[in-house]
Amino acid sequence: MEVVENEINWFAFRTKSRAEKKVHERLLEAGYNSFLPLKTEIRLWSDRKKKVIVPLISSFVFINCEEKEFTKILNIQGVVCVLKLLSKPAIIKEEEIENLKILISNIDLTLLEITNKIFSGDYIEVIKGPLKGMTGMSVIIKGNHRVLIEVTALENKMLVDIPLSFVNKIS
């Protein structure tokens, strides 16, 4: 996908290590449409367990902007560079951002009885449940069906357990 002058697209910006939340706040304060997918993890220390909120994809924030705004964005403290693909800024598809938003809205799903005839490699869409609207590829690991969600430009993939009764095969 080629960047068109004055067209607003989603781009991935690399941040300094562990600075994603601060960079996201600074971008929002500067008036940018920034997106930082977060997840809750339980961290175990020697004396306690604690829930911490961490980025789903470390060292990246997503910004919906025009290419001409890159210089201003790159001057924001903590922003390192824009993700490039073949020496051009990599555009993140709107569908991939929507998938991430749906994914973080309910990351804990359990498997139900398998009723659909969906095979590994089939392109599917979630038709009900909290992840409704998400699209991805069916994957079978050790007999369990999962949905593979991919952010192509980042070469980042996530597996999500979704009941097969919640998905439909896309032709």
Total domain count, the chain: 2
From CA 82, how far away is CA 157, in angstroms rounded? 20
Do the domain assignments include residue 104? yes
- Whether the pTM exceeds 0.85: the reply is no
- Are residues 71 and 60 both part of a single domain? yes
Spatial contact of 76 and 23, defined as CB atoms under 8 Å apart: yes
Do the domain assignments include residue 2? no
- Are residues 39 and 25 both part of a single domain? yes
Query: Tens digits of per-residue pLDDT, 105-146?
Result: 765 543 233 334 677 888 888 888 888 888 888 888 877 778
Full residue range of the structural domain in which residue 64 is found:
9-92
Contacts 24+ apart (CB under 8 A), 105-108: 105/130, 105/131, 106/130, 106/131, 107/39, 107/40, 107/160
The answer to whether residue 14 scores a pLDDT higher than 90 is: yes
From CA 126, how far away is CA 51, in angstroms rounded? 29
Domain of 146: which CATH number? 2.30.30.140
- Are residues 166 and 117 both part of a single domain? yes
